[in-house]
Chain A
Amino acid sequence: DAKTTQPPSMDCAEGRAANLPCNHSTISGNEYVYWYRQIHSQGPQYIIHGLKNNETNEMASLIITEDRKSSTLILPHATLRDTAVYYCIVRGGNDYKLSFGAGTTVTVRA
């Protein structure tokens, strides 16, 4: 029973912003939204997480809708090195487990 729904793939142009959507319509009040990515032949890498407010760090921005049923990860200036599988994960505040779905394969093209 997947908690999140993501498009299987998307392309974006190098230097442009990449907007990655995620639906989590059954999210509960104490669950956070996490984003990880996995570059080919590497272990997953944490990107960002949030509860209900928008978050920004050096890698990306996370925009969560007011009803918290969906979110968007924004890579502001995509580079070729951002080509990876991006995973949107919903996790409870007291839950240490990460449940990975199929993710979105993002290909950044020159």
Chain B
Amino acid sequence: SAVISQKPSRDICQRGTSLTIQCQVDSQVTMMFWYRQQPGQSLTLIATANQGSEATYESGFVIDKFPISRPNLTFSTLTVSNMSPEDSSIYLCSVDPSGIYNEQFFGPGTRLTVL
């Protein structure tokens, strides 16, 4: 299993600014994932972040808008850049500790509101 914490838990930001979200895991994991959940919607995968390599982004998401860092096996950050109200969402990180594509564990999420 894995216990995941995220900071901040929520934030209200002004348009045009950037916010960095932190994801901390209590064990070393190879694969970490970042998701977005827009209001009333399901989860959408933004990118996969593996330690030691560039993040892999899904269609519709670009590095300039959502830069990701993965400095070690227990930590990752997602930055939401040049925010607009359309970026208001819950951002979640998840991990697959087994590495054999069984159970993914999710963090509690960061609720972002952009004014």
Contact = CB atoms under 8 A, between A and B. Distances in A.
Interface of A: 41-46, 49, 87, 91, 93-103
B48 A96 contact: yes
What is the interface residue range for chain B against chain A?
Answer: 20 to 34
22 contacts: A42-B108, A42-B109, A43-B4, A43-B92, A43-B94, A43-B108, A44-B43, A44-B92, A46-B103, A91-B101, A95-B101, A96-B31, A96-B101, A97-B45, A97-B48, A98-B33, A98-B43, A98-B94, A99-B45, A100-B42, A101-B42, A103-B42
Interface of B: 4, 31, 33, 42-45, 48, 92, 94, 96, 101-109
Contacts of B48: 96-97
A100 B106 contact: no
A35 to B, nearest CB: 11
